[in-house]
């Protein structure tokens, strides 16, 4: 009986560690309309990003790392992977002032209002101090 209890200790520790980590650091919404509906909802609070350029697409793992190290979740969509018709519609929507459309920016939204934006530059994101600035931005609003 003692042997069975000892065997459960590592298993229990693993379960507690996983549950303490919280949810995923990133949530990709592959459908553009669903992404826009989600982040433009009056009750949406959190981080969002629309990947628009190929440079940011290549550097997205650096952005994701900032969220891996906090309790925050980034809701994003990769517009770089959309068909041309959807890209054109997204480009059209980016000029509408009444819509949240975070093209190559990480934005923090609280109850449907953008509180702050952090520009993601594909070249700069590789620099260590830039990653630190992004990390500080995420930690500022992480719950």
The CATH number assigned to the domain holding 131 equals 3.40.30.10
Residue 69 lies in a domain: yes
Q: Within 13 Å, how many C-alpha atoms sit on residue 25's CB side?
A: 15
Residue 37 lies in a domain: yes
Cα dihedral sign for 70, 36, 119, 97? negative
Residue 127 lies in a domain: yes
Residue 5 lies in a domain: no
DSSP-derived secondary structure letter, 79:
G
- Structural domain range at position 134: 24-141
Residue 14 lies in a domain: no
pLDDT by 10s per residue, the chain, length 143: 444 333 433 333 323 223 334 567 899 999 999 999 999 999 999 999 999 888 888 878 888 988 998 889 999 999 989 999 999 999 999 889 888 988 889 999 999 999 999 988 766 666 666 778 888 999 999 86
Cα torsion 51, 55, 60, 66 to 10°: value is -110
Cα dihedral sign for 39, 42, 44, 46? positive
Residue 4 lies in a domain: no
Domain count, the chain: 1
pTM of the entire predicted model = 0.79
């Amino acid at each position: 009986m003692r042997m069975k209890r000892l065997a459960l200790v590592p298993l229990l520790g693993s379960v507690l560690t996983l549950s303490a980590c919280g949810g995923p650091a990133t949530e990709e919404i592959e459908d553009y309309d669903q992404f826009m509906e989600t982040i433009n909802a009056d009750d949406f609070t959190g981080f969002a990003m629309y990947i628009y350029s190929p440079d940011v697409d290549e550097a997205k793992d650096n952005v994701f790392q900032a969220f891996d190290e906090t309790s925050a979740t980034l809701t994003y969509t990769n517009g770089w992977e959309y068909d041309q018709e959807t890209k054109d519609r997204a480009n059209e929507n980016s000029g509408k002032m009444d819509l949240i459309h975070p093209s190559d920016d990480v934005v923090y939204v609280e109850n449907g209002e953008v509180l702050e934006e952090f520009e993601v530059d594909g070249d700069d994101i590789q620099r260590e101090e830039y990653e630190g600035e992004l990390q500080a931005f995420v930690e500022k609003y992480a719950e």
